Amino acid sequence: MHFTALNAGIICLFEPIHLDAATRRLHLPMAAASVELLVACIASRHGIRRPAGTVMLALYAAYVAAAVAISL
């Protein structure tokens, strides 16, 4: 996440980055939420077990479905 933010910041020094609505409303929030979810699972004493992995897979499938629906 920090690497991406650093690259975007350097690029913005030379030219503004224009983000479309789908990026602002779906892709960026999902990127932030996925990092938070992964950190929460890793920080727990149990790590990432099968139920958490199943939930993550279902959330990813929902994200892909939403991204495809938005792009149509």
- pLDDT of 17-31, one tens digit each? 888 999 899 998 998
Residue 46 near residue 16 (C-beta atoms within 8 A): no
Task: Return phi, psi of residue 20, to 5°.
Answer: -80, 175
Give the predicted TM-score (pTM) of the model: 0.75
Predicted pLDDT of residue 17: 87
Has residue 39 got a pLDDT over 70? yes
- The stretch 50-66 carries a mean pLDDT of 94
Q: How far apart are CA 72 and CA 68, in angstroms?
A: 6
Instruction: Name the strand (E) or helix (H) holding 20.
Output: none
Q: What is the dihedral of CA 6, 7, 10, 12, to 10 degrees?
A: -110
